[in-house]
């Protein structure tokens, strides 16, 4: 297939079923993504479809910068699995075994260890104003039905611990909590069940995306919440709908790893881009 110089190349990747479109804009002067273009690309029938879109930008103080978009056209402050996917792609291209990546979350470090990509998602946010919440409450016992926990990982998370995650009302309770007034910027919603002191089952409703097969920042937030509730240690395996993630809460931050897959490369045509400015 002949490449149109006015088209936009992209890669499709996923981490434990959490799927992404990745666009490399490092050679461009400005971002190419707009809310309307993100929504069009995110349409699984008329576009490509994704849980999040990651745009790679140049950075003066890091190896690269990452901007994240949800499929509804809103901006996502953090995305752990997409960060791992981008790190895997760039490491494969450059031969690097570590990267510094600038995100809205801050400066994140990725490392390749024994064939796996680990990303340090930073320290958890445990102050109500910074999560953010609408008012001062106990993050470990939110005033919502189900006694959830709030943790920030560059984006807000509300975590419910249940006896059986398979029976969790993800499709109904998820959107209700996402837009609860307690969360002025809305929230991701996690439903977790304890399997063992180092093992959790997790199902996810992501703000701006809906039900997803996994969520990296959600796995990190859930691991932090589980430890603070006294359910687990600081290193846990997390079984998401799309696969297994691993989280280690260390002194220097919350580290995340799991599977990464490069599915295909493609290009958005000029006609598609012009129809969705």
SS3 246: strand
Alpha helix segments (H runs only) across the chain? 35-42, 80-94, 170-178, 216-228, 270-275
The token duo for 104 is: 């809205």
Give the angle subtended at the CA of 193 by the CAs of 192 and 197, to the nearest 5°. Answer: 115
CA dihedral 125→129→133→137, nearest 10 degrees, is 90
Q: How far is CA 191 from CA 96, 134, 161, 171, in A?
A: 36, 22, 6, 11
Q: Which residues are catalytic?
A: 79, 215
The token duo for 230 is: 């006294």
77, 43 Cβ separation under 8 angstroms: no
């Amino acid at each position: 297939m002949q490449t149109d110089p006015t088209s936009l190349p992209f890669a499709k990747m996923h981490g434990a079923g959490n799927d992404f479109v990745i666009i490399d804009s490092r050679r461009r002067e400005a971002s190419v993504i707009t809310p309307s273009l993100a929504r069009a690309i995110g349409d699984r029938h008329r576009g490509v479809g994704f849980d999040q879109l990651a745009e790679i930008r140049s950075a003066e103080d890091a190896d690269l910068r990452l901007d994240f978009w949800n499929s509804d056209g809103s901006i996502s402050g953090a995305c752990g699995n997409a960060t791992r996917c981008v790190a895997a792609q760039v490491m494969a291209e450059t031969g690097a075994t570590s990267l510094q990546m600038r995100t809205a979350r801050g400066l994140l470090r990725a490392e390749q260890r024994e064939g796996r990509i680990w990303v340090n998602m930073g320290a958890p946010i445990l102050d109500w104003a910074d999560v953010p919440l609408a008012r001062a409450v106990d993050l470990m016992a939110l005033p919502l039905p189900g006694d959830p926990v709030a943790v920030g990982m560059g984006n807000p998370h509300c975590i419910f611990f249940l006896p059986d995650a398979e029976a969790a009302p993800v499709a109904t309770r998820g959107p209700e909590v996402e837009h609860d007034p307690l969360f002025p910027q809305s929230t991701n919603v996690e439903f977790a069940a304890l399997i063992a002191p180092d093992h959790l089952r997790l199902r996810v409703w992501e703000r701006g995306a809906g039900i997803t097969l996994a969520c990296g920042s959600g796995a990190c937030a859930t691991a932090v919440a589980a430890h603070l509730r006294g359910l687990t240690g600081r290193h846990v395996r997390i079984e998401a709908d799309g696969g297994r993630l691993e989280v280690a809460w260390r002194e220097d931050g919350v580290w995340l790893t799991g599977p990464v897959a490069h599915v295909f490369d493609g290009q958005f045509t000029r006609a598609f881009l012009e129809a969705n400015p």
